[in-house]
Amino acid sequence: MKMVKGVTVTAGIAFAAFYVSRLPFLQMLGMLVLAMLIGMLWRAVFGHQAALEPGIAFSSKYLLKAGIILLGMRLNLADIYHAGWHVFAIAVCCMMFAGAVVYGLSRLFRMDQTLSILTACGTAICGAAAIAAIAPQIRSNENAAAISAAAVSLLGTIFTVVYSLSYHVLGFSPAAYGAFCGATLHEVAHAAAAGSAGGKTAVEMAVIVKLTRVALLVPAAFMLGMRARRSGKSETVSAASLPIPWFIFGFLGMSAIHTSGVISAAHSAFLVQVSYVLIGMAMAGLGLKVHISAFRHDGWRALAAGLIGSLCLSLFGWAAVTFFL
Range 309-317 average pLDDT: 97
Does 53 reside within a domain? no
pLDDT (0 to 100) of residue 145 = 92
Question: What span, in angstroms and rounded, lies between the C-alpha atoms of 246 and 218?
Answer: 10
Output the 3-class SS for the chain: CCCHHHHHHHHHHHHHHHHHCCCCCHHHHCHHHHHHHHHHHHHHHHCCCHHHHHHHHHHHHHHHHHHHHHHHHHCCHHHHHHHCHHHHHHHHHHHHHHHHHHHHHHHHCCCCHHHHHHHHHHHHHHHHHHHHHHHHHHCCCHHHHHHHHHHHHHHHHHHHHHHHHHHHHHCCCHHHHHHHHHHHCCCHHHHHHHHHHHCHHHHHHHHHHHHHHHHCHHHHHHHHHHHHHHCCCCCCCCCCCCCCCCHHHHHHHHHHHHHHCCCCHHHHHHHHHHHHHHHHHHHHHHHHCCCCCHHHHHHHHHHHHHHHHHHHHHHHHHHHHHHHC
Question: What span, in angstroms and rounded, lies between the C-alpha atoms of 211 and 262?
Answer: 20
Question: What span, in angstroms and rounded, lies between the C-alpha atoms of 34 and 137?
Answer: 23
Does 32 reside within a domain? no
pLDDT (0 to 100) of residue 245 = 59
**Per residue in 177-187, pLDDT tens?**
999 999 999 98
**Per residue in 242-284, pLDDT tens?**
445 577 788 889 999 999 999 999 999 999 999 999 999 999 9
Residue 242 φ/ψ, nearest 5 degrees: -65, 140
pLDDT (0 to 100) of residue 235 = 44
**Per residue in 4-45, pLDDT tens?**
999 999 999 999 999 998 887 787 778 888 998 899 899 989
The highest-confidence range among 54-63, 88-97, 141-150, by mean pLDDT, is 88-97
**Which band of pLDDT confidence, cut at 50, 70 and 90, is reported for residue 82?**
confident
Task: Judge whether residue 240 has pLDDT over 50.
Answer: no
Does 122 reside within a domain? yes
User: 315 is in which domain, residue-wise?
Assistant: 76-278+295-324
Does 45 reside within a domain? no
**Which band of pLDDT confidence, cut at 50, 70 and 90, is reported for residue 70?**
very high
Question: What span, in angstroms and rounded, lies between the C-alpha atoms of 84 and 209?
Answer: 11
Q: What is the pTM of this model?
A: 0.85
Does 9 reside within a domain? no
Question: CA neighbours within 13 Å on the CB side: how many for 20?
Answer: 19
Length of the chain measured in residues: 325
How many separate domains does the chain show? 1
**Per residue in 202-213, pLDDT tens?**
998 999 999 999
**Which band of pLDDT confidence, cut at 50, 70 and 90, is reported for residue 237?**
very low
Range 182-195 average pLDDT: 92
pLDDT (0 to 100) of residue 249 = 83
Does 140 reside within a domain? yes
Rg (CA), the chain: 19
pLDDT (0 to 100) of residue 29 = 77
Task: Judge whether residue 3 has pLDDT over 80.
Answer: yes
Chain mean pLDDT for the chain? 88
Question: What span, in angstroms and rounded, lies between the C-alpha atoms of 118 and 114?
Answer: 6
Task: Judge whether residue 234 has pLDDT over 70.
Answer: no
pLDDT (0 to 100) of residue 121 = 95
Does 271 reside within a domain? yes
Does 48 reside within a domain? no
Range 300-324 average pLDDT: 96
